[in-house]
Amino acid sequence: MKIFIDTANIEMIKEISGLGILDGVTTNPSLIAKEKTDLRTCVKKISEIVDGPISAEAMSMDAEGMIKEGRELSLIHENINVKLPMCAEALKATKTLSSEGIDVNVTLIFSPHQALLAAKAGARFVSPFVGRLDDIGQVGSEMLSQTVAVFRNYDIDTEIIAASIRHPVHVLEAAMIGAHIATIPYDILKKMISHPKTDEGIRLFLADHERAKKS
Ligand code: E4P
């Protein structure tokens, strides 16, 4: 499974990229606002750090505007893909942009039906939101699993990004289900690295090594 980081924070992206495990980055308008930056400056900086897909969200709500914004965003760097919120206008825009060779990530996917339509329109990525479904008492992982099954049935090559990841168990579920990618917030990536028994083991090994040197 490929690992993307879900943030617009440059320092966090640098740190995780330095671990050698990062395949791409997703941003969204809320993440950009949190960093008090603008989208274009931010994704340009990210493209200098990460050599992989970077999602930048268009804000228009009509196909014409989405296409215009998408074309502009794609010029920032060859790794930029245009994030469009799932709706009828986004499907039209996805068709046009993908036919021009511009990658689209259709976001805010909450059902396999939406994912299937986005893939049919030519999306390179779809982003099913797992955590936000859990938030309203539905089972996000079930929707992700259905989406993966549908795509496998028809050999659809659109990549599924498990999004709205809230804890390491969501990442495990995404990997078990077979999502192509998980886009993971920084703090969850950090949690995935460590384990109390690993820390304890390191402490013990170091202590035994010191004792052995003295004897
Ligand atoms: C995906 O690309 C989105 O940026 C993200 O995963 C949304 O997650 P949230 O539901 O935690 O805001």
In tens, the pLDDT along 23-39 reads: 999 999 999 999 999 99
Per-residue confidence (pLDDT) for residue 83, from 0 to 100: 98
- Per-residue pLDDT averaged across 163-192, rounded? 98
Average pLDDT over residues 207-215: 93
Of 46, 133, 144, 183, best ligand 1 pocket probe by most atoms within 8 Å of the beta carbon: 183
Q: Which of 73, 114, 117, 126 is nearest to 95 (CA)?
A: 117
For ligand 1, say whether the CB of 28 is within 6 Å of any of its atoms.
yes
d(CA 126, CA 47): 21
Distance from the alpha carbon of residue 45 to the mean position of ligand 1, in angstroms: 20
Residue with CA closest to ligand 1 atom 12? 164
Mean of pLDDT over the chain = 98
pLDDT grade, residue 126 (50/70/90)?
A: very high
Closest CA to 28 of 7, 1, 2: 7
Tell me: pLDDT of 215 over 90: no
Strand ranges inside the chain, DSSP E:
2-6, 24-26, 54-57, 80-85, 104-109, 125-128, 159-162, 181-184
Among the atoms of ligand 1, which is closest to the Cα of residue 105? 2
Q: Is 129 in the pocket of ligand 1 (CB under 6 A)?
A: yes
Report pTM.
0.96
For residues 141 and 168, what is the distance between their CA atoms, to the nearest angstrom? 13
Question: pLDDT, tens digit, for every residue of 44-69?
Answer: 999 999 999 999 999 999 999 999 99
